[in-house]
């Protein structure tokens, strides 16, 4: 009997990051990666974006586990938010699991670690309807793995982030023998990395990158600030090696980098010579020509920290004349503008900039040739390009056609798509939750499109506040409206505009009282509309108008005053009792003592 198989795209296509895919075999669901992405400039105030957590509300009882390919944020970043509410087992290599624990504990310190399970490339896990196994891949982290979900209908293979590099060192090598073994079983569907599909030139070999970094360190006589992602372990190792060979010490900035580096050292993935790392207290003792500052910034993103250094806002480091800022990772296309702005700030501060990505072709992702080689090795029946923006998925499809695949067997998907196997082919079926969940501070998903639209308006034209007190029974304004603004105009230079706005508020309230039955919502809406029209007519701008209407009732106020006066009179007329008598006697004695004391003072 054939199995019910669905492949669900939860995140990671037509975007950069936020990788999460799901394979359903009968009533079991296997989640492949659970990542986040960093927001672009349009997501004002948003910290990170993760996949739609409503998927787990709908299908959480069917999820057998979350399987991780590597420890970068685009593969593990959503775990802290998923594991807040769902006890789902998590599987990954030793380093990947340790990095996942750091990420989860950063958001939830009380989260227990009993959900995490360490596996390796030789592990095979049997479930009720399918088995899950793994294979070694080459990426910028050691022990990165691809995932194979084995079903009766064939193998479903997910590569995660990968590339091919014959010169890769131990812990980074791709297991081509294992790929061939999976291919012989028959690959039903291949979900393959598309991030670097448009690369024309092959990636430089790792030995060439090591020599380039070493020469950079040798040829600079001053202080070096190396900027890298915290989780790019291979780049961190190359910086350590170059520093040791050129007689330099390394200072680590940021808690994220420290945790990741010391974790990798403890597990044996980083080789750090004794005495190489120094503490902040030793910085003043070390000459500039003997110092490398390794900077990653919050959540491993170095660019914002470099900007703070250039503007003298960093808590530890200030860029000065003679510094070399070495950007040791290849930035994605989405942050190229930010890289240019950061470089400009560094030069203004007196430093110089050198980018590894300009001089060398280096990436942790497969080039077009690598993708074609993988297709030729795996011989998949169907290809689902994954992990990349739309143009990259399209390029990946074209590369697959060049490699001999039928275009009808290649599926370009979007987040929320669900492909179901029916009669030997995949067809689109009912969609699954695939929207973005935005994280702002500790809030998860409480910022949506409406809030973002309001933030955009506030950032464009500011806010205008009009406060007024009314007596609705007498239908009149008690006090003159007070108007204020932020981010709209400078009040002291625009008295006429503000006075006109006050009159617009008065007119709106008077018209409402005269022509409408009193309703709070309608009154505020009338004030908002009239003030918006007035401000737009005068300035051509549309700030957010916030009317604050307060109520006071004069009759009720007078009645309250009368009640308080009557209460005081009643208290004064209270019946004379023994307690009153004792109190009066004490007071009389006090006065008598005072008189006696005064007479004594006179006699003295």
Q: pLDDT of 459-476, one tens digit each?
A: 677 888 999 998 878 888
pLDDT band at residue 68 using 50, 70 and 90 as cut-offs: very high
Q: Residue 111 has what DSSP assignment?
A: -
Digit-coded pLDDT (tens) for 91-118: 999 999 999 998 888 766 556 678 999 9
Q: What is the CATH number of domain 462-551?
A: 3.10.20.580
pLDDT band at residue 409 using 50, 70 and 90 as cut-offs: very high
Say what the pLDDT of residue 462 is: 85
Q: How many CB atoms lie within 10 A of CB 573?
A: 7
Say what the pLDDT of residue 158 is: 98
The percentage of residues in the chain with a pLDDT greater than 70, rounded to a whole number, is 84
Range in 273-277, 356-360, 489-493 the model is least confident about: 489-493
Say what the pLDDT of residue 450 is: 59
Lookup: tokens for 330: 């290849």
Q: How many CB atoms lie within 10 A of CB 410?
A: 19
Say what the pLDDT of residue 47 is: 75
Say what the pLDDT of residue 594 is: 46
Say what the pLDDT of residue 339 is: 85
The arithmetic mean of pLDDT across residues 81-90, rounded, is: 92
| 231 touches 95 (CB < 8 A) | no
Say what the pLDDT of residue 604 is: 45
Lookup: tokens for 322: 């003679």
Say what the pLDDT of residue 121 is: 95
pTM of the model: 0.79
Query: Positive or negative CA dihedral for 362, 368, 370, 374?
Result: positive
Please name the residue that has the structure tokens 């499109």.
Answer: 449
Range in 282-286, 301-305, 526-530, 532-536 the model is least confident about: 301-305
Say what the pLDDT of residue 374 is: 97
Say what the pLDDT of residue 422 is: 93
pLDDT band at residue 544 using 50, 70 and 90 as cut-offs: confident
| 429 touches 419 (CB < 8 A) | yes
Q: Is a pLDDT exceeding 60 seen at residue 443?
A: no
For 604, counting Cβ atoms within 10 Å of its Cβ (0-12 exposed, 13-18 middle, 19+ buried), the class is: exposed
Digit-coded pLDDT (tens) for 376-386: 999 999 999 99
| 187 touches 154 (CB < 8 A) | yes
Higher model confidence: residue 484 or residue 191?
Answer: 191
Say what the pLDDT of residue 204 is: 87
Q: What residues are designated binding site?
A: 361-365
The arithmetic mean of pLDDT across residues 253-271, rounded, is: 84
Q: Is a pLDDT exceeding 90 seen at residue 516?
A: no
Higher model confidence: residue 572 or residue 521?
Answer: 521
pLDDT band at residue 302 using 50, 70 and 90 as cut-offs: confident
The arithmetic mean of pLDDT across residues 25-41, rounded, is: 90
Query: CATH 3.40.50.10710 spans which residues of the chain?
Result: 206-359
Q: Is a pLDDT exceeding 90 seen at residue 438?
A: no
Range in 332-341, 406-415, 554-563 the model is least confident about: 554-563
Residues 182, 133: Cα–Cα separation, whole Å: 10
| 34 touches 439 (CB < 8 A) | no
pLDDT band at residue 42 using 50, 70 and 90 as cut-offs: low
Say what the pLDDT of residue 565 is: 67
Q: What residues are designated binding site for substrate?
A: 361-365
Nearest Cα to Cα of residue 509 among 548, 543, 458, 457 = 548
Q: Is a pLDDT exceeding 60 seen at residue 256?
A: yes
pLDDT band at residue 561 using 50, 70 and 90 as cut-offs: low
pLDDT band at residue 215 using 50, 70 and 90 as cut-offs: very high
Say what the pLDDT of residue 237 is: 92
Q: Would you give the distance in Å from CA 64 to the centre of its chain?
A: 26
Query: CATH 3.60.15.10 spans which residues of the chain?
Result: 5-200+363-444
Query: CATH 3.10.20.580 spans which residues of the chain?
Result: 462-551
Higher model confidence: residue 556 or residue 336?
Answer: 336
Say what the pLDDT of residue 224 is: 95
* β-strands 463-471, 544-551 pairing: parallel
Higher model confidence: residue 330 or residue 202?
Answer: 202
DSSP helix/strand/coil, 170: coil
Q: Is a pLDDT exceeding 50 seen at residue 249?
A: yes
Say what the pLDDT of residue 214 is: 95
Residues 60, 56: Cα–Cα separation, whole Å: 4
The arithmetic mean of pLDDT across residues 351-380, rounded, is: 92
Say what the pLDDT of residue 518 is: 79
| Domain range 5-200+363-444, CATH architecture | 4-Layer Sandwich (3.60)
Q: What is the CATH number of domain 206-359?
A: 3.40.50.10710
The residues near 322 (Cβ < 8 Å, ≥ 6 apart) are 222, 223, 288, 350, 351
Residue 154 has φ and ψ, to the nearest 5°, of: 135, 180
Say what the pLDDT of residue 370 is: 95
What are the beta bridge partners of residue 31?
Answer: 22, 66
Say what the pLDDT of residue 358 is: 86
Say what the pLDDT of residue 71 is: 92
pLDDT band at residue 589 using 50, 70 and 90 as cut-offs: very low
Q: How many CB atoms lie within 10 A of CB 298?
A: 13
Digit-coded pLDDT (tens) for 472-503: 788 888 888 998 888 888 888 888 898 999 99
Say what the pLDDT of residue 19 is: 96
Q: Is a pLDDT exceeding 60 seen at residue 164?
A: yes
Q: Is a pLDDT exceeding 50 seen at residue 357?
A: yes
Residues 396, 369: Cα–Cα separation, whole Å: 10
Q: How far is CA 69 from CA 97, 118, 133, 141, 189, in A?
A: 10, 12, 11, 10, 17
């Amino acid at each position: 009997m054939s199995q019910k198989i669905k492949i669900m795209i939860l995140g990671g296509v037509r975007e950069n990051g936020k990788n999460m895919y799901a394979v359903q075999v009968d009533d079991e669901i296997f989640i492949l990666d659970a990542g986040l992405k960093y927001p672009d400039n349009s997501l004002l105030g948003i910290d990170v974006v993760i996949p739609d957590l409503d998927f787990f509300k709908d299908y959480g009882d069917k999820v057998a586990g979350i399987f991780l390919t590597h420890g970068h944020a685009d593969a593990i970043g959503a775990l802290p938010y998923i594991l807040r509410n769902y006890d789902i087992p998590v599987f990954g290599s030793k380093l990947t699991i340790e990095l996942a624990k750091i990420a989860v504990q950063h958001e939830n310190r009380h989260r227990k670690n009993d959900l995490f399970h360490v596996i390796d490339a030789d592990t095979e896990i049997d479930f009720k309807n399918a088995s899950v196994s793994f294979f070694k891949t080459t990426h910028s982290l050691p022990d990165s793995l691809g995932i194979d979900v084995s079903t009766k209908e064939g193998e479903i293979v997910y590569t995660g982030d990968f590339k091919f590099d014959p010169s890769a060192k131990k812990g980074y090598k791709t297991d081509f023998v294992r790929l061939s073994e999976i291919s012989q079983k028959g690959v039903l569907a291949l979900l393959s990395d598309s991030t670097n599909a448009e690369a024309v030139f092959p990636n430089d070999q790792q030995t060439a990158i090591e020599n380039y970094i070493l020469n950079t360190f040798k040829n600079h006589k001053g202080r070096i600030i190396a900027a890298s992602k915290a989780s790019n372990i291979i780049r961190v190792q190359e910086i350590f090696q170059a520093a040791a060979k050129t007689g330099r010490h390394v200072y680590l900035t940021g808690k994220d980098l420290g945790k990741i580096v010391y974790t990798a050292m403890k597990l044996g993935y980083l080789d750090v010579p004794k005495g190489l790392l120094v503490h902040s207290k030793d910085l003043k003792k070390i000459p500039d020509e003997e110092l490398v500052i390794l900077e990653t910034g919050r959540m491993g993103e170095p660019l914002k920290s470099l900007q703070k250094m250039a503007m003298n806002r960093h808590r530890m480091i200030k860029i000065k004349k003679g510094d070399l800022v070495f950007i040791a990772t290849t930035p994605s296309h989405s942050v190229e503008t930010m890289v240019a702005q950061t470089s400009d700030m560094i030069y203004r501060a007196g430093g110089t900039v050198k980018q590894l990505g300009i001089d060398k072709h280096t990436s942790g992702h497969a080039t077009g040739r690598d993708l074609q080689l993988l297709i030729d090795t795996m011989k998949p029946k169907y290809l689902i390009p994954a992990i990349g923006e739309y143009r990259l998925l399209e390029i990946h499809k074209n590369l697959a056609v060049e490699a001999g695949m039928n275009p009808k067997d290649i599926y370009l998907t979007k987040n929320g798509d669900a492909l179901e196997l029916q009669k030997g082919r995949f067809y689109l079926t009912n969609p699954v939750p695939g929207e973005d969940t935005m994280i702002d501070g500790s809030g998860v998903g409480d910022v949506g499109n409406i809030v973002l639209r309001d933030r955009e308006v506030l950032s464009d034209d500011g806010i205008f506040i009009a406060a007024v007190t009314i007596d609705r029974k007498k239908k009149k304004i008690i006090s003159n409206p007070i108007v204020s603004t932020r981010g709209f105009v400078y009040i002291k230079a625009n008295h006429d505009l503000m006075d006109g706005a006050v009159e617009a508020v008065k007119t709106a309230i008077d018209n409402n009282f005269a022509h409408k039955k009193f309703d709070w919502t309608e009154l505020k809406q009338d004030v908002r509309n009239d003030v918006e029209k007035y401000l737009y007519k005068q300035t051509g701008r549309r700030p957010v108008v916030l009317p604050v209407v307060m109520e006071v009732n004069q009759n009720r106020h007078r009645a309250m005053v009368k009640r308080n006066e009557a209460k005081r009179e009643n208290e004064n007329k209270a019946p004379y009792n023994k307690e009153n008598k004792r109190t009066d006697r004490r007071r009389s004695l006090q006065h008598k003592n005072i008189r006696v004391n005064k007479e004594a003072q006179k006699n003295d």
